[in-house]
Amino acid sequence: MKFVHIADMHFDIPFASLESRIGLGDKRRLQQRKVFKKMIEYIKENKIPYLFIAGDLYEHEYIRNSTIEYINQLFEEIPDTQIYITPGNHDPFLNNSYYSKFSWAHNVHIFNDKIEKIEQPDCNIYGLGFKDFYMMQNQLESFQLENKEKINIFITHASLDSSTMEERQYNPIGKGFLKSLGFDYVALGHIHKNSYQDEADQRIVYPGSMISLGFDELGSHGMIVGELEKKELKLTFIPLDEQEFVTKKFDITTISSQEELIEKLNELDLEKDKFYEIVLVGVHQFELNKMKILKLIEKEEILKLKDETTLGYDLEKLKEENTLKGIFVRQLLEEKTKENYSEETIKKAMEIGLEILE
């Protein structure tokens, strides 16, 4: 049997990380539609009989009726494909949710918060969804497969091997325990980084988010395509997102002013199909106003600046000087000792003040 496995589409998410460029959030939401349509076209062309959507298809707080209509119209274009959706923590099966009140295409099945089995001629498909924004308990503790001779698939939105209290709020399941249940394939959602070839014969799979939501989701994003037999599984990851988020380090040690830094950033050779976070490293002896710099950069590919530099001053030496600089440094270091201000605030005040006193 063949299938496509996706998760974490997050339709109509605000894309807060793109606010530095006017209109880019709207463009990214259009790209969400484009990516989803590419997935539907792949299913059409390859006659894929099953589509598994493992949660967070949309953002409950922001989703618009027009977007739901768009999604459903695409589902109607693949009537011979059985679509199984397990709501996640961002799109739970609430009484007022679109999962509950919308009339979905005939080929769409939405799982609720009780484990349900759907029998197909070539497999049994089990699913479990969120009914609220949190799911604290593992619902599988007393679960047993009914027919181990058949291909058995489980679809859910879950946090594997949760190590923090926060992670345990989102359907916590132990990976070893999940393996012991004997499913032939487990289609998961929730983690936005794909995991499908981290071990030999991997059967518990995260496809990752279909489209990157920001600089904490680097690398390629797309869908998993699977061919499953009882004793054999072949998985292929197909990238769909046309714009990748990338971090790039830039050493400013030899740069003497903010104006020169802006000039150098504008000269960077960057790929047009990528979004960049420039991580400033090295030492500096001038004020770094990230917001001002970002506004003056002409490179539209640069969306974010991160400051990991150190001040290029010998503060221990300066504080011993009987000068305005020395007095200024001593007072700031005293404030730092008192913990009246954050490390970032002290650093910013130090770089501004010392540049003025040059």
- pTM confidence score: 0.85
278 and 190 together in one domain: no
> 188 and 206 in contact (C-beta within 8 Å)?
yes
Q: Sorting pLDDT into bands at 50, 70 and 90, what band is 334?
A: confident
- Which residues, 6+ apart, have CB-to-CB distance to 41 below 8 Å? none
How far is Cα 221 from Cα 235, in angstroms, rounded to an integer? 15
Within this chain, do residues 321 and 189 fall inside the same structural domain, yes or no? no
Are 175 and 275 contained in the same domain?
no
Q: Which one of 239, 267, 292 terminates a domain?
A: 239
Q: 179 with 284, same domain?
A: no
- The helix/strand/coil state of 105 is coil
Residues 36 and 163 in one domain: yes
String of DSSP letters for 311-342: E-S-HHHHTTSSSHHHHHHHHHHHHHHHT-S-
Give 324's Cβ-side CA count (13 Å radius).
Answer: 6
* Residues paired with 195 in a beta bridge: 206
Segment 229-260, tens digit of pLDDT: 988 999 999 999 988 899 999 999 999 899 99
How many domains does the chain divide into? 2
Asked if 52 and 84 count as a contact pair (C-beta separation under 8 A), the reply is: yes
In angstroms, the CA 148 to CA 184 distance is 9
- Tens of pLDDT along 194-240? 999 999 999 999 999 999 988 889 989 999 999 999 889 999 999 99
Picking from 209, 239, 269, the residue at the C-terminal end of a domain is: 239
- Which amino acid does the sequence have at 332? L
Residues 196 and 263 placed together within one structural domain of the fold: no
Domain containing 295 equals: 244-356
Could you tell me if 173 and 308 lie in one domain?
Answer: no
